[in-house]
């Protein structure tokens, strides 16, 4: 950046012009300051005394590297998952050039949340589009024969084998029925995210769907000693969608939270208009359970992937994502081992 250029910022950005000693020569905007990421400052202050301690050393080294090498540095930074301000920043540090010489650096930060969400949504859409084709094929080829077998076995079981003395046959058939039923559940579940919206969505009250999903989840009786903290914004606008499939998506997410707290815990569920982008409604489901390791977190949307050893199909989040994606929304997951998991669902409001 040339020293004579204006520092153009808006309400979503903030920039600092620093000399070679990293003293503040000029600044514009208040985006980062408004969110508490900088201490009070004035012209002439050393920049590394203004930024938070967890940034100071790292960004000081980067600023000096930019001064020496003249290469612009860019990095997307997401705050801690339990941060009060769930906003993603794009940080840029570029050389300040005056008469062909590097005389300082320009440190900039701007709101990158919407870009980050769109990129994540696009990536997941690409990933799920491949699986949706496979899911449709599996569901189409297996559902009919499975239904036929289940009906025939059900008839045999209802007859009770009065005239046939096969003492072990009933137990074996019951086992076969259970296995085939589980397979049928999987194919039906996969079908839920293989279908595109059919244009028959209706206006829905999101809080009603959440409340119903909570009640359905309680009926599962997965865990005891669970405290529910429910905070729903009563003034939410409506959304367009399918009530049944959205309930399924939220039940899957809530169920994961309950399973992550085998010894009990707190499940917090809230709804509100998203503060970052008001065209979305935000639902946050947070547990204080076992959390998810980073390596596992990268695979949580993979169909059939599970860390559970009790025959768990590993389809819950894949199905939930497919349903939310078909409603033009997205899912964000933040987790820390032994601290819990936070799932944020974004759905577009009907009136925008």
Tell me: do 300 and 340 sit in the same domain: yes
Contact (CB, 8 A) for 291 and 334: no
pTM beyond 0.75, yes or no: no
Of 48, 101, 108, 24, nearest in space to 72 by CA? 108
Using the structure block, give the residue that is written with the tokens 């024969």.
Answer: 145
pLDDT at 229: 95
Residue span of the structural domain in which 265 resides: 199-352
Asked, for residue 8, whether it belongs to a domain, the answer is: no
Chain CA centroid to CA 180, Å: 32
Cβ neighbours of 104 (radius 10 Å): 24
Instruction: Convert 96-138 into a string of H (helix), E (strand) and C (coil).
Output: EEECCEEEEEEEEEEECHHHHHHHHHHHHHHHHHHHHHHHHHH
| Contact (Cβ atoms closer than 8 angstroms) between residue 322 and residue 328 | no
Point out the domain boundary residue: 138, 163, 195: 195
Asked if residue 83 and residue 139 are part of one domain, the reply reads no
CA distances from 57 to 24, 61, 63, 131 (A): 17, 6, 10, 44
Q: Which two tokens stand for residue 28?
A: 């514009």
Residue-level pLDDT at 223: 65
- Which residue spans within 20-100 are E strands per DSSP? 24-29, 73-77, 89-98
pLDDT of residue 4: 42
Taken in order 294, 296, 301, 307, the sign of the CA dihedral is negative
Task: Report the domain count for the chain.
Answer: 3
The span from the CA of 308 to the CA of 239, in Å, is 34
DSSP, residue by residue, 255-323: HHHHHT-TT-EEEEEEEEE-SS-TTEEEEEEEE-SS---HHHHTTTTSTT--S-SSS--S-HHHHHHHH
What pLDDT does residue 260 have? 87
From CA 352, how far away is CA 340, in angstroms rounded?
Answer: 33
Q: Which of 78, 96, 111 is the last residue of a domain?
A: 111
Q: Evaluate whether residue 99 is within a structural domain.
A: yes
Shared domain for 80 and 188, answered yes or no, is no
What is the spatial distance between Cα 104 and Cα 1, in angstroms, rounded to a whole number? 10
Residue given tokens 């997307």 in the structure block: 76
Q: The tokens of 126 are what? A: 């690409």
Print pLDDT tens along the chain (352 aa).
544 444 455 557 888 899 999 898 988 887 777 777 777 888 888 888 887 776 778 888 888 899 888 888 888 776 544 444 467 778 888 998 888 889 999 988 877 776 656 666 666 666 666 566 656 666 766 777 677 777 777 776 776 656 555 666 666 676 677 667 666 656 665 666 555 555 678 999 999 999 999 988 887 666 678 899 999 999 999 999 988 889 888 988 998 889 889 888 999 999 999 988 889 999 999 999 988 887 766 666 565 555 555 544 445 577 788 788 888 898 888 888 888 989 999 999 998 7
- CATH number for position 23: 3.30.450.20
Question: Both 75 and 106 in a single domain?
Answer: yes
pLDDT at residue 311, rounded to an integer: 47
- Does one domain contain both 82 and 136? no
**What single DSSP character describes residue 78?**
-
């Amino acid at each position: 950046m040339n020293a004579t250029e204006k520092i153009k910022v808006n309400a979503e950005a903030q920039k600092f012009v620093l000399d070679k000693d990293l003293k503040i020569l000029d600044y514009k905007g208040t985006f980062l300051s408004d969110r508490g990421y900088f201490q009070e400052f004035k012209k002439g202050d050393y920049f590394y005394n203004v930024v938070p301690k967890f940034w100071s050393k790292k960004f000081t080294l980067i600023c000096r590297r930019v001064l020496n090498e003249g290469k612009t540095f860019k990095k997307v930074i997401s705050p801690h998952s339990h941060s009060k301000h769930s906003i993603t920043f794009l940080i840029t540090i570029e050389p300040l050039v005056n008469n062909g010489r590097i005389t300082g650096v320009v440190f900039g930060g701007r709101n990158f949340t919407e870009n980050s969400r769109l990129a994540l949504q696009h990536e997941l859409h690409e990933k799920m589009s491949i699986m949706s084709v496979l899911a449709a094929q599996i569901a189409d080829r297996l559902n009919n024969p499975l239904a036929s077998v289940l009906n025939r076995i059900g008839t045999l079981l209802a007859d009770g084998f009065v005239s046939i003395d096969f003492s072990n046959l009933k137990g074996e058939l019951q086992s076969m029925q259970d296995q085939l039923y589980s397979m049928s559940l999987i194919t039906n579940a996969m079908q839920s995210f293989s279908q595109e919206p059919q244009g028959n969505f209706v206006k829905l009250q999101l809080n009603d769907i959440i409340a119903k999903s909570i009640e359905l989840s309680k009926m599962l009786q997965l865990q005891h000693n669970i405290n529910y903290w429910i905070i729903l914004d009563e003034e939410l606008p409506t959304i367009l969608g399918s009530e049944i499939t959205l309930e399924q998506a939220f039940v899957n997410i809530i169920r994961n939270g309950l399973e992550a707290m085998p010894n009990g815990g707190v499940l917090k569920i809230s709804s509100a208009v998203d503060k970052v982008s008001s065209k979305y409604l935000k639902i946050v489901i947070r547990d204080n359970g076992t959390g998810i390791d980073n390596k596992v977190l990268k695979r949580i949307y993979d169909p059939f992937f599970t860390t559970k050893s009790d025959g768990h199909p590993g389809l819950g989040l894949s199905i939930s994502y497919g349903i939310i994606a078909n409603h033009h929304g997205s899912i964000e997951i933040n987790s820390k081992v032994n601290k819990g998991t936070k799932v944020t669902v974004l759905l577009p409001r009907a009136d925008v």
